[in-house]
């Protein structure tokens, strides 16, 4: 029986190595090429090379491929796929799902049973009143007299919105114009689901971004902002100039100011923290508690990624910032640091 003998090879960089196969890849060079950070750093060399050769170097690019497409690449196996799936899930992404092409302007889904219209959505939402009754007026911090409430539980609204995630933009706008708080919550939930779906394209994300800003007067409560701003506004601006956020931070409207800071949550998830702290610096002494809580919460979340930046911010502002902001910001710090910064309060 023939036995493969290992042969001595020399790479262009001067490394010497033995291999019995015809593969002339130098192990030492591959080790130097291996990234220290990111999802590629946890992959074996053959899998990493397969992705790099196809310019799949970020999780966003990876999400543009289906599992079957990746498995067709030489070097990608089932073990590797599990690691890739986990990396995508950690960033709220997933592999592309091969589905039939859907025209978003068509008001009917492929099964022809669900009409993606505002009228139908509202009818389905009202039907949920029979299953669950909730006093949603307790969540509303604006002028309650100008609003109506159906009393449908939030989870039911979100689940229904997911069924209508392909609703045309014009129909979403009709939902935003509703006097019912839960209907508007459904609208921003549909906007969020669409903004998260990379398959719908950059043009649709721009349309969602524009609709949000144009109809901001209808996104008139803190939870409507929080439900949609991170992906609709933050997701669109992530690779663009962030000037619109600073303009919103100077607004006289409290919910526009909240949008400014809340939108940066998308950036935080990408370890891009600069704008969160800059906008927090602008809003740190805001007179509205809804902004105070948002500032404290968002710098806390940014601090989970980089505690040093949080401490620098607290060194500057802890003695004068609203107590509620400080309490929210300190939640994840150790007892010694909490005591130190609370002692600075005037």
Concatenated DSSP letters for 14-71? S-EEEESSS----HHHHHHHS-SSSGGGGS-HHHHHHHHHTT--SHHHHTTS-HHHHH
Cα→Cα distances 54→57, 69, 228, Å = 8, 12, 33
The CATH number covering residue 265 comes to 1.25.10.90
In a domain, 338, yes or no: yes
- Total number of domains constituting the chain: 3
Handedness of CA 156, 88, 263, 121 (dihedral sign): negative
pLDDT for 219: 96
Q: Evaluate whether residue 309 is within a structural domain.
A: yes
Domain identity same for 150 and 229:
yes
Q: Which of 242, 319, 304, 234 is nearest to 271 (CA)?
A: 304
Q: Do residues 256 and 335 share a domain?
A: yes
- Among 239, 271, 290, the domain-final residue is 239
Q: Provide the token pair at 346.
A: 């005037």
pLDDT given for residue 73 in this prediction: 82
Same domain, 126 and 232: yes
Asked if 81 and 67 count as a contact pair (C-beta separation under 8 A), the reply is yes
Number of alpha carbons in the 13 Å side-chain half-sphere of residue 125: 28
Asked whether residue 307 falls in the same domain as residue 269, the answer is: yes
User: 79 and 189: one domain?
Assistant: no
Low-confidence stretches of the chain (pLDDT beneath 70): 1-5, 9, 17-34, 36-37, 91-93, 96-114, 130-133, 140, 142-145
Residue 304, pLDDT score: 97
Looking at 39, 66, 83, the residue that finishes a domain is: 83
Looking at the fold, whether 210 and 121 belong to one and the same domain comes out as yes
Range of the domain at 180: 116-239
Between vectors from CA 143 to CA 140 and to CA 149, what angle results, nearest 5°?
50
Sort 305 into a burial class: Cβ within 10 Å, 0-12 / 13-18 / 19+: middle
- Domain termination residue (choose one: 62, 83, 104): 83
């Amino acid at each position: 029986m023939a036995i493969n003998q290992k042969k001595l090879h020399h790479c262009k960089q001067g490394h010497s190595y033995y291999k019995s196969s015809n593969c002339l890849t130098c192990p030492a060079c591959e080790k130097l090429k291996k990234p220290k950070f990111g999802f590629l750093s946890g992959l074996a060399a053959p899998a990493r090379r397969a992705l790099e050769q196809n310019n799949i170097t970020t999780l966003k690019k990876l999400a543009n491929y289906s599992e079957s497409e990746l498995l067709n690449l030489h070097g990608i196996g089932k073990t590797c796929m599990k690691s890739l799936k986990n990396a995508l899930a950690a960033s709220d992404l997933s592999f592309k799902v091969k589905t039939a092409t859907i025209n978003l302007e068509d008001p009917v889904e492929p099964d022809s049973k669900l009409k993606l219209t505002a009228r139908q959505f509202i009818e389905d939402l009202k039907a949920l009143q029979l299953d669950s009754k909730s006093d949603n007026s307790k969540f509303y911090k604006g002028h309650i007299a100008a609003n109506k409430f159906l009393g449908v539980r939030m989870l039911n609204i979100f689940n229904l919105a997911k069924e209508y995630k392909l609703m045309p933009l014009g129909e979403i706008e009709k939902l935003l114009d509703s006097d019912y708080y839960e209907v508007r919550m459904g609208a921003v939930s549909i906007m969020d689901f669409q903004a998260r779906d990379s398959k719908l394209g950059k043009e649709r994300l721009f349309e969602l971004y524009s609709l949000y800003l144009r109809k901001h007067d209808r996104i008139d409560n803190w939870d409507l902002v929080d439900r949609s701003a991170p992906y609709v506004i933050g997701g669109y601006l992530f690779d663009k100039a962030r000037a619109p956020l600073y303009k919103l931070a100077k607004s006289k409207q409290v919910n526009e100011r909240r949008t400014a800071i809340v939108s940066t949550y998308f950036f935080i998830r990408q370890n891009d923290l600069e704008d969160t702290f800059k906008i927090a610096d602008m809003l740190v002494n805001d007179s509205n508690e809804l902004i105070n809580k948002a500032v404290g919460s968002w710098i806390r979340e940014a601090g989970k990624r980089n505690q040093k930046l949080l401490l620098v911010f607290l060194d500057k502002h802890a003695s004068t910032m609203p107590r509620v902001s400080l309490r929210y910001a300190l939640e994840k710090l150790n007892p010694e640091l909490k005591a130190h910064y609370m002692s600075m309060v005037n």
